[in-house]
Structure 1
Amino acid sequence: MRGGTKGWLWPALIAAVLIGAVLSIGVGSAAIPPARAFAALLGRGDPVERAILVELRLPRAMLGLAIGAILGLSGAALQGYLRNPLAEPSVLGASNGAALGAVVAIYFGLASSSAALLPLLAIAGALVALALLSLLAGRSESALTLILAGVAVSTLAGAGISLALNLSPNPFAAMEITNWLLGSLEDRAFSHVLLALPPIALGAALLAWDARAFDALTLGEDGAAALGVDLARTRLRVLLGIGIGVGGAVAVSGAIGFVGLIVPHLVRPLTDRSPSAILWPSAAAGAALLLLADVAVRVIPTTNELKLGVVTAFLGVPVFLVFLMRERRLW
């Protein structure tokens, strides 16, 4: 292995990401031959085809790449930090908190008044959820305490979402909230890319900061502290990274589950199993998985386009069960 991973892993991941990106740009309801698509991307050719590729499919591909990467990275970081193979952003309440913030923006009509309010409230919702998590967990550095507090926060945020659906002023508002909660990259533009990329990049940087600390935490809190890890600062960076990164992703895509849970399990057998070796491969694998899932929602024949969150759930459950049966003796 090189750098804790098998030598062919990174070439395979890069190829998967490139294939996913090419398919995401090239596949859709409007069939555009490769030569004309290439010309359109260079600013030539038919203006309608150029608009489809550059204004609709390219931003969708960029968002799939970025959102899949942060979800995969978040799942790997949390599994390393909590030493729990079932950890993902929803475990700490970040996903539901971000979803609740976005639902508030939709419910009160704030999203239609300003495009920036939806991502801002989603990030705020995730950070408020994580602040409540820290308050409930107190000074304890125990992973179990954080998980139990996260379950409580996630349940509370989920109850808030249900309340918004129950009290929605009309069926159309409830439908809009429900469609958003199912997760999708449909009809996204470069404005969404500009809104999502800064928080995703900041969140990814914060999560990658503590890669070595995650390795030290495999020895337990006391062992990591003995090696010089500042547990309080590590927790703060992890929580901020999850809140900002996942909040920015959820704000433009809606709720997309299972990516952060499944991807580290796909990558882990191809590494030395140390948390630091899993982080960036999980980001690349998450990007490839979400790109390919987004292509699937376009090619599966249905009356209405499938929602991305539905496809990732159907893909994630069987894959997770297979890897759980294979890997259960190795944890």
Structure 2
Amino acid sequence: MSETNQLAAEILASGEQTLATEAQALHDLKQRLDETFVQAVGMLLACRGRVIVCGLGKTGHIARKIAATLASTGTPAMFMHAAEALHGDLGMLTAQDMLLALSHSGSGDELLTVVAAAHRLNVPVVALTGNPKSDLAQLSRVHLDVSVTNEACPMNLAPTASTTVALAMGDALAVACLNARGFTPEDFARSHPAGALGRRLLTRVRDVMRQGQAIPQVGPSASITQALDEMSRKGMGMTAVVNEQGIAIGIFTDGDLRRLIESAGDIRGLNVTNGMSHHPQHISPEMLAVDAASTMDERRISQILVADDAGKLIGALHMHDLMTAKVL
């Protein structure tokens, strides 16, 4: 085997060993899951304030991610760095909160000081440690054992398998709370309004439709020339035909124009009512934008009118508007 091939084989073996070690650690964690996990979830669900997730070092990075996962899945949470807590950040901890403390050794002075402050406020503490006999484990109301037999690091020093297990336990807590709360995709979207899911589940037609002066519309007495001028200025490839009460009685599109030319030839003296489509389709401004897109796709149209419950025209929507809003 060449030197290059030997190096490649060693790299692959190292990667496989790391994944195998961490997979075994997760399997062992699953086997240890017991009533204490149920108790921890019950405390999270009962919390009337926020879950303050606290850690230090590499475990602190895991704690920050757990806090973010909890917050985005229906459990109000925030991260507090154990060292910064001793220099003012403890002020974020209130009697309505609970403390989720992470430490592999369970013996860090900074974190134990935070726990002591939590006790003074009668704040319940759930601890995730790799040492059930540690001070932190003993001072917590519920202790979750996230110990590992070996780190993936060949020197058994760098936090690898231990941080993976702690992160997985945090995910398990968050998902258990999510299920218990009946958290829905709509709830998830509300905490992710800028994401793709948020746009799909929160954006309504009223948020993206054209309205006011941007709506192409003419009266029933308008000539074809006037209708074409309105269509050109508003750039939607159509114009609504609206009566005195503001009700859309027709719609005149590029397609209607082509058909009218084919049938009538010279259209200069014609009225817009001679070529419009009567009884135009319209949607509610409260319809989800993604549903409006489906409606337009099913009907094979690229624009649609928006009307209120009384049928009064209040907007117009083009497929390009949905694309610009990144609903599609």
* Range into which the TM-score falls when normalised by the shorter chain: under 0.3
Please report the TM-score for the alignment, with normalisation by the length of structure 2. 0.24
In proportion to residue count, which structure has more strand? 2
Q: Which structure has the higher relative contact order (CA within 8 Å, separation 6+)?
A: 1
User: Would you tell me which structure has more helix in proportion to its own residues?
Assistant: 1
Normalising by structure 1, report the TM-score: 0.23
Q: Which structure has the larger Rg?
A: 2
